């Protein structure tokens, strides 16, 4: 098991699951770690296995998939980068000095199933010239609700760098405190002075507390025109990319759609670590 040798073990042909005794792990020098609702098996600073609590004994949701995985000699860059556009992937590989072919999205079954083709809106606002001068925001509602009760994603995007930060929410009421927390963190950074907050006309962005906070901090609120998503184009384009990659990731891994919150975190991290 992950490089560990544990004995003795009992083979039960009709057993529906594999069982591991914590005391047996300790007897073999393996120390368990608990973090929130997750049971971790660690070797040094690396995590070898994670078991999540779902009302039953600790279960590793990916155990059988890990056992059945086979290494591939060839890299499928389209899969590794979570199914970006051909143009983006070609530019990324060129920038990294990698001269390898990749599967075109036109020939990718996952891309065909998961991506919705829609003509993008042209940007109607000039881009700023320094980081975190303007922040774009939007709220996405996704169904079904996740196992942790998440129904919404609050999206925050820097206009200049396209750096993104997402918050998973159970209700839209949480967005106000999360946005204020995000801006407080920005204002504590050296040489960062947010001047504009751009959003649509959602009710979550119109409370008196929200307006007073930005008034006192010297940040102006920009609102898009009614029924015109293109006036919040930066957030809308990010939303399309985020949702497309979430669908691709869940389809590729054959995970239930109720895991979209975990996929969203992974996609957000991936987008922040790749060129825009």
- Output the pTM of the full model: 0.61
Tell me the mean pLDDT in the region 53-59. Answer: 57
Q: For residues 242 and 239, what is the distance between their CA atoms, to the nearest angstrom? A: 5
Render pLDDT for 94-141 as a digit per residue (tens, 0 to 9): 777 777 676 676 667 666 666 655 555 555 566 788 999 999 999 999
At residue 10 the predicted structure's pLDDT band, cuts being 50, 70 and 90, is confident
Distance CA 30, CA 22 (A): 9
Structure confidence by residue, pLDDT tens digits, 231-272: 788 998 899 989 988 988 888 888 899 999 999 999 999 889
CATH superfamily of 134-272: Ribonuclease H-like superfamily/Ribonuclease H (3.30.420.10)
Q: How far is CA 91 from CA 88, 97, 105, 159, 275, in A?
A: 5, 10, 15, 21, 9
Residue 142 has pLDDT above 80, yes or no: yes
Compute the average pLDDT of residues 1-30.
Answer: 70
- Tokens representing 83 are 């199914």
The boundaries of every CATH 3.30.420.10 domain in the chain are: 134-272
pLDDT interval class at 57 (50, 70, 90): low
The rounded distance, in Å, linking the Cα atoms of 111 and 109 is 5
Residue with structure tokens 């047996």?
Answer: 24
Q: Would you state the structure tokens that stand for residue 236, as one six-digit string? A: 């809308």
Quick: pLDDT tens for 150-187.
999 999 999 999 999 999 999 999 999 999 999 999 99
Q: Which residue has the higher pLDDT, 242 or 55?
A: 242
CA–CA distance, 48 with 34 (Å, rounded to integer): 14
How sure is the predictor about 68, in pLDDT bands with cuts at 50, 70 and 90?
very low
What's residue 220's pLDDT? Answer: 94
Beta strands, E only, the chain: 32-35, 38-43, 46-52, 134-141, 152-158, 164-169, 196-199, 220-223
Q: Per mean pLDDT, which range of 1-5, 20-24, 59-63 is the poorest?
A: 59-63
- Maximum Cα–Cα distance for the chain, whole Å? 68
Residue 83 backbone zone (phi > 0: left; psi -120 to 50: alpha; other: beta): left
With a cut of 50, say whether residue 73 has pLDDT above it. Answer: no
């Amino acid at each position: 098991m992950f490089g560990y040798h544990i004995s003795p073990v009992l083979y039960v042909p009709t057993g529906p699951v594999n069982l591991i005794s914590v005391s047996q792990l300790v007897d073999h020098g393996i120390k368990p770690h608990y973090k929130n609702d997750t049971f971790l098996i660690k070797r040094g600073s690396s995590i070898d296995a994670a078991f999540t609590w779902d009302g039953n004994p600790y279960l590793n949701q990916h155990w059988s998939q890990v056992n059945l995985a086979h290494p591939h000699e060839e890299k499928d860059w389209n899969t590794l980068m979570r199914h970006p556009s051909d143009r983006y992937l070609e530019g990324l590989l060129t920038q990294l000095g990698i001269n390898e072919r990749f599967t075109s999205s036109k020939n990718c079954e996952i891309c065909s199933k998961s991506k919705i083709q829609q003509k993008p809106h042209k940007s109607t606002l000039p881009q700023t010239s320094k980081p975190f001068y303007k922040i774009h925001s939007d709220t996405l509602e996704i169904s079904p609700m996740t196992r942790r009760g998440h129904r919404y994603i609050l999206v925050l995007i820097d206009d200049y760098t396209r750096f993104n930060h997402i918050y998973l929410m159970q209700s839209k009421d949480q967005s106000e405190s999360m946005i204020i927390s995000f801006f407080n963190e920005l204002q504590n950074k050296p040489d960062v002075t947010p001047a504009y907050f751009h959003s649509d006309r959602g009710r979550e962005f119109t409370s008196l507390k929200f307006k007073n906070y930005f008034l006192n901090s010297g940040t102006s609120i920009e609102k898009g025109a009614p029924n015109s998503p293109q006036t919040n184009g930066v957030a809308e384009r990010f939303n399309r990319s985020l949702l497309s990659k979430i669908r691709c990731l869940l389809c590729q891994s054959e995970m239930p759609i109720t895991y979209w919150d975990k996929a969203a975190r992974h996609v957000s991290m991936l987008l922040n670590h790749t060129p825009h």
